[in-house]
Structure 1
């Protein structure tokens, strides 16, 4: 009897929270757009303090924006990569440090205070993904040939390389930085220990290609997005699937948890970005878009979602718009 009552109380609280969030986004649905690149934007990400937003593009550049109360302002553009900037990530507690992975076979570190590149590490392939460990000590970079390079960020030296014999799509660390996760073309999540890189678990997460992976800020959960158009939510300790989000109809390319771990944004080739409540899976809001979405990233302190789509120029439909957008500003 008591268990049933507790379940009812929890369900009522969750429903109340969903209603609260739904109402919030009805008055916070304004979108700000920045057109700063000459080609499509592949990756966006916020600094750990939320003051800066970075975008990496096929045009080989990285743009840095500052966040005001109701707008973005472009601060600087980093140039130096000889190929597309496919993914970027910030240091988890040094808000001025940004890392980028490029098709030019390098990984770079940029310092927004000095506005310079402070490290340039050559790797053995065209890089497509990057992940900075939460403890700040290691940067993992993956390339098109499914080789992952582990760089000691304290001395900027390559510490290890791991060649995989399957398609590696996206990489991530757990909250304690002692296990390393990667998604693959067989729908699996491989979990390795770090630094010894021993295989600990293989989870068959999806029937289709497992494309993206993201940990929530608390470390309790991680989510995966797949070619089967599903997002699945996993308990990070038990490694069991808790629920799926099934509102999208195309392969899920990108996902992001909000700062409090309560919301999960997911995007694909659908003309909408889906925002769901983590505990129930219920829809809280959606963002209409005009093209496939490459990347989404929640702000680390507010309900602001940065994203970039395959938008085309208004006057020349053959040209990329090179824009990024932020959803969630007050519309009142």
Structure 2
């Protein structure tokens, strides 16, 4: 009987078509799927947010949201409402968008240039981090700040665990800081990597979380015991982005390497790699299907205008 890795290798051999769509005019910083998987969103250096729908194995534009005064660096969907999207920008605002509308449902002023954002699992709170390592917790209903925490170290990415009772930060010194929530009391500091710990992602099944580092390693952690159970070491450049598949069995990681690595979580075995022309800085698995959305850096050659601002989705059937 074929192993899961062998089954998925065959699956991607038969389903390896990539669909491209170009809506943005500059580099895409972030892609994310809505909770129901019907919509894909992207945020760009061109200050816009784009919403797409997947129909008949194709990407189609639904909305372009304008209003941010600076680059849209990161975005995230509401964990259960597939219509609500939050965006973080260098313009010192967080915006909440309703995908059924043409304008922002809320604009929240913040103290600094925002670079990362996440939504609490219960949907009540948005956490946003800025370039000055200040993390602000925003009440979604009132669209106001609920609390803020200033950190004395470089904060890279922020996330709640799946239950919402712990809050995680990755740091510039390679450590993972874990706080109880909502009281934000420090519970653990994990010395995860010898270099900058850049990104963090939680497995949908609740068993693991993974971090990516400037040491070019992805480390997989047991969420209950807080021990590193495995590392993935096929890429050569700092790991910029991670995503678990909806079933928790695969993890995609990307960097300035010209491939996206897809690995089996339980063994570390390579399942597939997606070739890229330029570095990749954002990847996101679909919440119900084995479709991977991603966006690469703009080309620096004469084809730059043609390839600027492209969003890609890998995993469509070859015969569609």
Give the TM bin, normalised by the shorter chain: over 0.9
CA distance 1:289–1:316, change in 2 (3 Å): closer
2:261 aligns with 274
Partner of 2:210: 223
Q: Are 2:295 and 1:299 equivalent residues in the alignment?
A: no
Per the alignment, residue 39 of structure 2 pairs with 52
1:39/1:319 contact within 8 Å kept:
no
2:107 aligned residue (120, 137, 157): 120
Give 1:312 deviation, angstroms: 2.3
SS at match of 1:190: strand
Alignment of 1:1-332 (within 5 A): 16-312=3-299, 315-317=302-304, 321-332=308-319
CA distance in 2, matches of 1:198, 1:72: 43
Distance in structure 1 (CA, Å) of the matches to 2:194 and 2:16: 34
When normalised by structure 1's length, the TM-score is 0.94
Query: Cα RMSD (Å) of the superposition?
Result: 1.3
The alpha carbon displacement at 1:319 in A equals 8.0
Q: Deviations over 1:171-227 (max 9, x none)?
A: 111011111001001000000111111111000001110000000111211000000
Q: Deviations over 1:243-296 (max 9, x none)?
A: 000000000000000001011000000000000010111010000001110100
Conserved? CA contact 2:169–2:178, under 8 Å: yes
- How far off is 1:311 after superposition? 2.7
Unmatched runs of 5 consecutive residues or more in structure 2: none
Task: Give the CA deviation at 1:317.
Answer: 3.5
Q: CA separation in 2, counterparts of 1:30 and 1:320?
A: 18
Distance 1:317 1:224 in 2: 31
Contact 2:26-2:298 within 8 A present in 1 as well? no
Shift of 1:115: 2.8
User: How many residues in Structure 1 have an aligned counterpart in Structure 2?
Assistant: 319
Q: In the TM superposition, what is the alpha-carbon distance from 1:315 to its structure 2 partner?
A: 4.6
SS at match of 1:26: helix
**Structure 1 unpaired stretches of 5+:** 1-12
Structure-2 separation of matches of 1:314 and 1:326: 23
Report how far residue 320 of structure 1 moved.
6.3
- Do 1:38 and 1:59's aligned partners in 2 also have CA atoms closer than 8 Å? yes
The answer (yes or no) to whether the contact 1:313–1:319 under 8 Å persists in 2 is no
Q: Could you list the per-position Cα deviations for residues 289-328 of structure 1 after superposition, in whole angstroms to 9, with x for gaps in the alignment?
A: 0111010000000000000001328754478611110000
TM-aligned CA deviation for residue 69 of structure 1: 2.6
Equivalent residue of 1:134, what SS?
coil
